[in-house]
Amino acid sequence: MVQSLDRLKESPSQTAGPYVHIGCTPNYCGIEQVFPEDLGSRMLKEETRGERIRIVGRVFDGVGTPLKDALVEVWQADAAGLYPSPQETRGKADPAFTGFGRSAGDMATGEFVFETIKPGSVPFKDGRPQAPHVTLWIVARGINIGLHTRLYFGDEGAANEADPILARIEHRSRVATLIAPKTVEGGIATYRHDIFLQGEKETIFFDI
């Protein structure tokens, strides 16, 4: 026998199930007396620095039906590329920006919406810049372990071309699944980003 590493195993994941909103966005599902507001429902304040944008989309299953019971979370840097996290050591992020958002998706259409700002660039481990991006995490009934993916911005062509993570993706035709095209809706820059769990257009999911 060799020595033991004495390491614990991570708690195994289980699906968030159909009622994830009770715990994560209770106000949204009609339980309004417990928490004053749903966590992650407001990413911005008046004084938050940066360009206001909206991220919208839906999550589709393998037969093309939009999920109406998904929960989508986003995590992103501020306009200067700093994370509002104790683990951020390069500087102090905008105190008026949470960096974290959570959307239950509309119960009728499944559309998720985030009112946020466009993030700045964050360095890769070797110091090269990454293209501006938002991390997404998706859970739902039928998803046994949360899915990590990223959103890159369609109007950042040169930065996306130079991004070290996008550059490593072997199947080049799949890179587009991570890039949200820009439109302007109601005067606000809007990035429409649908996520496909399966099929020809299957979104790239990461093992982080």
Which amino acid is present at 33? Q
Choosing from 2, 4, 9, 187, the residue that interacts with other proteins (CB under 8 A) is 9
**CB nearer other proteins, residue 34 or residue 184:** 34
Which residues in the 103-122 window bind other proteins by CB under 8 A?
A: 107, 122
**CA 125 to the chain's CA centroid:** 20
Coil vs helix vs strand at 129: strand
User: Among the candidate windows 49-57, 109-117, 132-140, 184-192, which touches other proteins by CB under 8 A?
Assistant: 132-140
Closest CA to 132 of 151, 104, 147: 151
**CB nearer other proteins, residue 12 or residue 187:** 12
Contact string (CB under 8 A) for other proteins, positions 83-102, x = contact: xxxxxxx--------xxx--
Choosing from 1, 168, 186, 187, the residue that interacts with other proteins (CB under 8 A) is 168
Does the protein bind other proteins through residue 172 (CB under 8 A)? no
Query: Going by C-beta distance under 8 Å and a sequence separation of 6 or more, which residues neighbour residue 77?
Result: 83, 93, 99, 119, 120, 122, 132
Residue 191 phi/psi, 5-degree rounding, is: -110, 115
